[in-house]
Amino acid sequence: MILEKSIEGSLLLQAHDLIVDVLEHGDAAVDATLGNGHDTLFLARCVGRAGKVFGFDVQQAAVGNAGKRLDDAGVDSCCYALFCESHADMALHITTKVKAVMFNLGYLPGGDKKIITQAHSTVAALSAAIESLSCGGILTVMCYPGHDGGADEADLVTNFVDELDEEDWRVTRYNRAEARASTPYLWTILNVSQKNGQPPSEG
């Protein structure tokens, strides 16, 4: 069963609020779409010096922006690994279980709006992310149906989450209040499986 919630505030802040509750110092996390590195820095702060953030983007400019943001904030370079590669290939680089994965789909703000996430590689990356998430871990996906190709991508993401086994995955869709068809929305997917350990407490 997919829960739907309507919120007044920022969907990105909502994603951050939920991730803060899950991540602990020493955890591993993934920013699947580096962009300008805002989410990367957020994740790096959550996991601290003992943790590790893996980041992916197909644009070298985004990898550079994110690296600079981390550097400027004083994050030690051993606490992150950034790759100029598609998130669809994340499994090649992530050999450990991770506690949070963030996707912020679409194009690089301030960059080339023609370079956008693509439906099929997004779904391949979501499959890889699901495989890597530890019990109690969280995956967040910001969808933007308003730009060219965004609605088709969002539909494929919806098909993907529809097929997740509800015994193992707690799925919530956050909408903005008074949303239209083109309004962005957020998926959160929590691993509630008991296969790898204790299930998370209800809340």
Which residues are near ligand SAM by CB under 6 A?
Answer: 33, 35-39, 56-59, 62, 86-88, 104, 106-108, 115-117, 121
CB of 25 to ligand SAM, least distance (A): 21
CB of 119 to ligand SAM, least distance (A): 11
Which DSSP string do the residues of 131-157 spell out, in sequence order? HHEEEEEEEEEEE-TTSTTHHHHHHHH
Integer Cα distance of 57 and 102 in angstroms? 12
Measured from the CB atom, the residue of 86 and 168 that comes closer to ligand SAM is 86
CA-nearest of 37, 76, 84 to 57 is 84
Measured from the CB atom, the residue of 115 and 164 that comes closer to ligand SAM is 115
Measured from the CB atom, the residue of 37 and 137 that comes closer to ligand SAM is 37
CA-nearest of 169, 140, 177, 170 to 157 is 140
Measured from the CB atom, the residue of 107 and 187 that comes closer to ligand SAM is 107
